[in-house]
């Protein structure tokens, strides 16, 4: 089984806890004795607390480390964390790419070789976090540098670069190294696309020299349990950002995209997942927008919606909000 939960308390990390790992979102520095968690430098907006996203399976947990990757696994799933200090690549000749591009490429190559070696070849979902995501260095926005490195590593590692690709999110932190976490299994999952949106791997070149690489959601069956992982979802229709400067309309459009992804997932997998069945993390660019965003989500999903809100930069400079979620 897998249980994805969002809370403010830190779970027990013991071998019998079932804990695969997770992410701690906090503006404060990392917590020293929580090695199963990636630290994401983002302030929580809906509570004066940290946000802890934890993934629990069952059975004995084994742990390991390879290169920059720390990982934990049970019989069915492996969760890993990579952090890479991109300044290590500051002296690399320019034709090999920017430091962030090279760090991304190396991180992903290491992930795929670990997963191959450990026998968990199918990634359900990636979580990508980097500082200054919208800053332009070496004439290219950092998110676009990241996309270059990600595409290179997928291709070099023999991974599909279209079609059945993992779900993902990519967001900007206030500080900290490039941090990538991932959840992988032993069986393929089903990638879901959104009929309202062009697949990210088919975005035209105006969004960067290499397209992003993710599906809109993935549906997996693990140990007879259905797992639904929703990628970061924003106010994009076709390939274009909609409602520039209007956070309320962007929130409504994002929810329409989520509903479309759920409809598609239900058609493709005979799942029966509704907006109300998910737990959400809502990334908001401007902290002062939380009241507006929250009101729309509570109105459109329902007052009992389970959602946590954090401050983040979104990967396109004109996006003000992004929503991800899970049902597991
Ligand atoms: C988008 O739909 C918005 O680069 O991994 C959402 C989810 C977004 C994942 C990624 C980017 C990523 O293009 C941004």
Per residue of the chain (328 residues), what is the pLDDT tens digit? 899 999 999 999 998 999 999 999 999 988 888 999 999 999 999 999 999 999 999 999 999 999 999 999 999 999 999 999 999 999 999 999 999 999 999 999 999 999 999 999 999 999 999 999 999 999 999 999 999 999 999 999 999 999 999 999 999 999 999 999 999 999 999 999 999 999 999 999 999 999 999 999 999 999 999 999 999 999 999 999 999 999 999 999 999 999 999 999 999 998 889 999 999 999 999 999 999 999 999 999 999 999 999 999 999 999 999 999 999 9
Structural domain boundaries of the chain? 3-231
Q: What is the DSSP letter of 71?
A: E
The residues carrying an active-site annotation are 322
Would you say the CB of residue 170 lies under 6 angstroms from ligand 1? yes
Q: What angle do CA 132, 191, 60 make, to 5 degrees?
A: 85
Q: How many angstroms does the Cα of residue 197 sit away from the middle of ligand 1?
A: 12
Tell the residue number behind the tokens 């979580």, with chain if given: 127
Look at the alpha carbons of 207, 208, 211, 215 in this order and tell me if their dihedral is positive or negative. Answer: negative
**Which residues have a Cβ under 8 Å from the Cβ of 117 and sit 6 or more positions away?**
66
CA angle 273/274/280 to nearest 5° reads: 100
Reading the block at residue 94, the tokens are: 């320019």
Cα 59 to ligand 1 centre (Å): 33
Q: What φ, ψ does residue 222 adopt, rounded to 5°?
A: -125, 120
With the most atoms of ligand 1 within 8 angstroms of its CB, the residue from 172, 178, 232 to mutate is 232
Q: What share of the chain is helix, strand, coil (3-state, %, to 5)?
A: 25, 35, 40
> Is 261 near ligand 1, meaning CB less than 6 Å away?
no
Cα–Cα distance measured from residue 303 to residue 205, given in angstroms and rounded to the nearest whole number: 40
At what angle are helices 142-156 and 99-118 packed, to 10 degrees? 30
As a whole number of angstroms, the distance between CA 224 and CA 156 comes to: 33
pLDDT of residue 122: 98
Ligand 1 neighbour 177 (Cβ under 6 A): no
**What is the position in ligand 1's atom list of the atom closest to the CA of 216?**
7
- Does residue 148 have its Cβ closer than 6 Å to ligand 1? no
Predicted confidence at residue 134, as pLDDT, reads 98
pLDDT for the residue 29: 87
Q: Is 199 in the pocket of ligand 1 (CB under 6 A)?
A: no
């Amino acid at each position: 089984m897998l249980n994805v939960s969002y809370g403010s308390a830190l779970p027990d990390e013991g071998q019998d806890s079932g804990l695969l790992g997770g992410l701690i979102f906090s503006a404060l520095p990392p917590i020293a004795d929580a090695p199963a968690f990636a630290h994401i430098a983002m302030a929580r907006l809906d509570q004066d607390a940290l946000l802890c996203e934890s993934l629990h399976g069952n059975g004995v947990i084994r742990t390991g480390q390879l290169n920059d990757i720390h990982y934990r696994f049970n019989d069915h799933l492996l969760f890993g964390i990579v952090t890479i200090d991109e300044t290590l690549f500051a002296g690399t000749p320019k034709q090999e790419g920017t430091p962030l591009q090279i760090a991304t490429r190396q991180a992903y190559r290491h992930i795929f070789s670990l997963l191959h070696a450990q026998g968990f070849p199918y990634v359900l979902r990636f979580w990508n976090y980097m500082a200054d995501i919208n800053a332009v260095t070496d004439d290219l926005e950092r998110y676009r540098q990241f996309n270059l490195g990600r595409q290179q590593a997928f291709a070099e590692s023999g991974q599909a670069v279209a079609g059945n690709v993992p779900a993902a999110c990519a967001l900007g932190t206030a500080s900290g190294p490039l941090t990538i976490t991932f959840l992988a299994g032993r069986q393929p999952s089903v990638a879901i696309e959104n009929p309202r949106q062009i697949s990210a791997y088919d975005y035209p070149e105006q969004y960067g020299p290499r397209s992003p690489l993710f599906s809109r959601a993935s549906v997996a069956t693990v140990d007879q349990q259905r797992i639904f992982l929703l990628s970061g979802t924003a106010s994009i229709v076709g390939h274009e950002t909609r409602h520039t400067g209007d956070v309320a309309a962007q929130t409504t459009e994002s929810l329409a995209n989520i509903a479309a992804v759920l409809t598609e997932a239900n058609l493709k997998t005979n799942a029966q997942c509704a907006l109300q069945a998910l737990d959400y993390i809502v990334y908001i660019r401007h902290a002062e927008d939380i009241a507006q965003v929250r009101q729309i989500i509570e109105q459109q999903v329902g007052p009992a919606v389970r959602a946590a809100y954090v401050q983040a930069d979104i990967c396109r400079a004109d996006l003000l909000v992004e929503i991800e979620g899970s049902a597991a």
